[in-house]
């Protein structure tokens, strides 16, 4: 089986999973965080070097205040519960996004998690939290202007170096659960040549078997990056 270097996941469908069971939406988000632990462990076992998860977008602030508050508490709880194990298993945590509007306690926990795991190399776990692809591009351009780059210095490589994912390979495979077919402002630059895999499985039901099916799909793809099949051969 072909193992991609970098897998990214839009973890969609928590709310619908809960509604189908007559539960509050937050119960679906809790189930989603429980499932995330299993998927992270499996990615480590498969030697996937980079995993990016879409945890909370810049647009998610528009959701009902009680749901937003609950999501913040869930992330805080997950960091408290999982950080020790992630660190012991060699997982490096990186935060993609910014902390504007996030409560200071959670910002501190995110900062501590990033610092504690900064020397790990088994796998990089990118947590896209308070993240939006367009917002990322705007902030990158602002930093480029602030740093005074000359016009000839502005290249694809230099722009990539100003993104949150600087120093990492672009995702080879992006997975979206729950049957939706859109990118939702996720990795709009980095995903230019990614293979996309869409599944009807809701995120809490996306188990190791579902991950395996996504990887089988990826292994069958011919990645040409603008070349012809004959050139690749």
The answer to whether residue 209 scores a pLDDT higher than 60 is yes
Q: Does residue 207 carry a catalytic annotation? A: no
Q: What is the SS3 assignment for 195?
A: strand
**Domain coordinates in residue numbering, the chain:** 6-218
Could you tell me the two tokens for 97?
């996004």
Q: Does residue 12 carry a catalytic annotation? A: yes
CATH superfamily of the 6-218 domain: Decaprenyl diphosphate synthase-like (3.40.1180.10)
Q: pLDDT per residue over 6-65, tens digit each? A: 999 999 999 999 999 999 999 999 999 999 999 999 999 999 999 999 999 999 999 999
Other CB atoms closer than 10 Å to residue 41's CB: what's the count?
A: 15
Task: Report how far Cα 89 is from the mean position of its chain's Cα atoms.
Answer: 19
- Largest Cα separation within the chain, whole Å, is 57
Choosing from 14, 60, 185, 205, the catalytic residue is 60
Read off the pLDDT of each residue in 126-148 and give the average, rounded to a whole number.
98
pTM of structure: 0.94
């Amino acid at each position: 089986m072909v193992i991609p270097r970098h897998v990214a996941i839009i973890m969609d469908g928590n709310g619908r999973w809960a509604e189908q069971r007559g539960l509050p939406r937050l119960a679906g988000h809790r189930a989603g965080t429980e499932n995330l632990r299993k998927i992270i462990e499996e990615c480590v076992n498969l030697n996937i070097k980079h995993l990016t998860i879409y945890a909370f977008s810049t647009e998610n602030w528009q959701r009902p205040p009680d749901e937003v508050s609950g999501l913040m508490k869930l992330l805080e709880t997950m960091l408290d519960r999982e950080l020790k194990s992630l660190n012991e298993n060699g997982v490096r945590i990186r935060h993609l996004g910014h902390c504007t509007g996030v409560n200071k306690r959670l910002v501190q926990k995110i900062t501590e998690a990033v610092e504690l795991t900064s020397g790990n190399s088994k796998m990089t776990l990118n947590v896209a939290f308070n993240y939006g692809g367009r917002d990322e591009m705007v902030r990158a351009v602002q930093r480029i202007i602030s740093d005074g780059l000359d016009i000839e210095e502005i290249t694809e490589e230099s722009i990539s170096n100003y993104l949150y994912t600087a120093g990492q390979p672009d995702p080879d495979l992006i997975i979206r659960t729950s049957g939706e077919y859109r990118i939702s402002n996720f990795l709009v630059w980095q995903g230019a040549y990614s293979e996309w895999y869409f599944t009807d499985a809701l995120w809490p039901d996306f188990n190791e078997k579902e991950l395996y099916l996504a990887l089988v799909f990826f292994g069958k793809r011919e990645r040409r990056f603008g070349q012809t099949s004959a050139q690749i051969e």
